[in-house]
Structure 1
Amino acid sequence: MTILIPAMTQAENHPVSLTDDRGKTIELAQPATRPAAISTFGADVSVALGRQPVAITTFGLQGVPAYLGPEMEKIPSLGPRHQPNLEQLSRIAPDLVFAIRRYTEKDGPQIEAIAPMVAMDLITLQDSLDAVALAGDALGRPQQAREINQRFKARLDSLAARSPGNRTVAILTSGGETPFVYYDHFLTASLLERLHFDNVGGSPPNPESGIPLGYRISLEALLALNPDVILLLPSNRQRGFTVNPVWPYLQAVKNDQVFEVGQHWKESAGPIARSLVLDDIERLLLPDDTPLKTSSR
């Protein structure tokens, strides 16, 4: 993802040229002030940069994330991100749409007939940093976006210095009989890796594409990996795998190191969500009395 901003002016009405994760260039006559979000990220980054979105998509039965604040309840809904209501989007007439690339490929032309669309991958930590910078330029808040990224990276480094490491972790989701575990490149897994945890999900088979994000793992296979810590992402159903006879034998279960975390762990690319992820890691997994590491890592 590249960002091209004319250097000659930072006026509020300057033209903006953006290149998104499709490699497509989007030309704006001036920074957007009425963004729509076909992604939790779009709403998150807009709020963080002081631009209230004019329309937002929902995420499963959980709707709009509560961590974005009560004002989001007043914003018109476009329905689910994988099937947004384009008639509603057309009526609202945003001046920019923030979208997740893999969910909007089939509807891209229809969306772009309504408003310019920035489509982003939003899988890895670098995706998140790039997308926040891109959104900052799109919304006329480039310095603010850079500062948000700098503060986040500084906090990540600070927590890494406190983390003792030497623990394995699994991030699990699904309400079925077999959990889904995330690969190392998935943003929250990569944050844990940066903090010296070892994600048992392992490396992705297709690092260039980023897809799939993870894989189904049997409880027997998970027991063979036997992580020290298990993090459970939200599910709309009772997690069938937690009543499997194998579940109590996992050392994370026996040691009371299984933690339920919020929706921000699944949709973590936005500035607000990823900061909340670090809050959780610090609260749940990092001891208060750990001395600072002297390593330069």
Structure 2
Amino acid sequence: MISLRQQINRILIVALLSPVPGLSAESDIRLTDDRGDTLRLSAPAVRPAAISTFGADVALALGRTPVAVTDYGIEGVPDYLASQLVGVAGLGPRHQPNLEVLSSVRPDLVIGIRRYTEKDGDQISTIAPLLALDLITVDDSLRAVSLAGQALGAAEEASEFNQNFLARVQELAELNSNKTEPTVALLTSGSETPFLYYDHFLPTAMLEQLNFDNIGGAPPNPASGIPLGYRISLEALLGFDPDIILLLPTSRQRAFTLNPIWPYLTAVRNDNVYEVPHYWKEGAGPKARELILDDIQRLLLTGTPAESTE
């Protein structure tokens, strides 16, 4: 079995030491995104737009304010970015961005989630070069930060973000290395049946690297990354009986928490059920993934009291 240190070293080598596309002989920036398409920029982008929280996150982390951003519908932009996006044009929800508004703000780069931009990719590309990214796994995050850094003319800063992130993951893993591996479930949905995430989803992958055991298990299609998880009945959830339950935000009451089985779960009985913020949903950005690590350290590693939500 590959050790955690070997996993971290492998990711570091792939993401940071392997040759990556960059400046051509003519000083054009050439990048290959997760569609396999090649983008050509004559100069670093200075007016990026974001069809993703990631795009806004990475742009702001690198000191570039985006000209337009998508949101989570009625829930708006994530709180951790909101104060830095005052006055920035809104594109609406990420799955249905307003392309008229996008065109009107004249971006010179669009950073988008691949699965949400596939249907409009050709039209978006007529407005500005589209950097379409998967943004599902830790590897996706490392690659995406590197690519965005190159596109924004901040490759060294982006590389430093990745190195610091990996170093912190390893530090926290060592902090938790002598403990038993508690089981954990990351759930979402407002319906009667919760949605449980597989091991490859970025937050659950981070938990696995930090010596927690995600009950979601391995994905059936690791190459594609989709689906992200599956629906699980409360009876099946009780069969796994995780030590810790983490709940992603939802705009509706979580009907599954009203199921008579819910109070019998170990995590519920021991007050180890926590609601985590929106950035857990799309945590690939350099700011978001650090905040996820902050939450894991505060809630699960140091024993700091936290408010149980259910």
User: What TM-score bracket applies, with the shorter chain setting the length?
Assistant: over 0.9
Question: What is the one-letter code of the residue matched to 2:72?
Answer: F
Once the two structures are superposed, residues 120-153 of structure 1 have per-residue CA deviations (whole angstroms, 9 ceiling, x without a partner) of 0000000000000000000000000000111111
After TM superposition, the structure 1 = structure 2 runs for residues 1-297 of structure 1, keeping only pairs within 5 Å, are 3-6=20-23, 14-163=27-176, 164-287=179-302
- The CA deviation at 1:7 is 7.1
- Give distance in 1, aligned partners of 2:297 and 2:145: 23
Question: What is the one-letter code of the residue matched to 2:268?
Answer: V
- The CA deviation at 1:6 is 2.6
Structure 1: 5+ residue runs without aligned partners? 290-297
- Give distance in 2, aligned partners of 1:32 and 1:274: 24
- Give distance in 1, aligned partners of 2:243 and 2:190: 22
Question: What is the one-letter code of the residue matched to 2:189?
Answer: S
Question: What is the one-letter code of the residue matched to 1:151?
Answer: N
Structure 2: 5+ residue runs without aligned partners? 1-14, 305-310
- Give distance in 1, aligned partners of 2:34 and 2:21: 14
> Deviation above 3 Å: which 4+ runs of structure 1?
none
- The CA deviation at 1:81 is 0.7
Corresponding residue for residue 4 of structure 2:
none
Contact 2:73 2:92 in 1 (8 A): no
Corresponding residue for residue 6 of structure 2:
none
Question: What is the one-letter code of the residue matched to 1:59?
Answer: Y
- Give distance in 1, aligned partners of 2:99 and 2:133: 19
Query: What percentage of residue pairs aligned between the two structures are identical?
Result: 62
Give me the TM-score of the superposition, normalised by structure 2.
Answer: 0.89
Contact 1:169 1:227 in 2 (8 A): yes
Cα distance change of structure 1 residues 202 and 7 upon mapping to structure 2, 3 Å threshold? same
Contact 1:165 1:195 in 2 (8 A): no
- Give distance in 2, aligned partners of 1:91 and 1:159: 45
Secondary structure of 1:71 counterpart = coil
- The CA deviation at 1:69 is 4.1
Give RMSD over aligned pairs. 1.5
Contact 1:3 1:19 in 2 (8 A): no
- Give distance in 2, aligned partners of 1:47 and 1:60: 21
Question: What is the one-letter code of the residue matched to 2:215?
Answer: V
- Give distance in 2, aligned partners of 1:92 and 1:3: 30
Secondary structure of 2:187 counterpart = strand
- Give distance in 1, aligned partners of 2:208 and 2:225: 17
Secondary structure of 2:127 counterpart = coil
- The CA deviation at 1:23 is 0.5
Once the two structures are superposed, residues 68-93 of structure 1 have per-residue CA deviations (whole angstroms, 9 ceiling, x without a partner) of 14131311001111111011111111
- Give distance in 2, aligned partners of 1:85 and 1:195: 39
Corresponding residue for residue 293 of structure 1:
none
Aligned length: 285
Give me the TM-score of the superposition, normalised by structure 1.
Answer: 0.93
Secondary structure of 2:184 counterpart = strand
Contact 1:184 1:203 in 2 (8 A): yes
- Give distance in 1, aligned partners of 2:169 and 2:77: 27
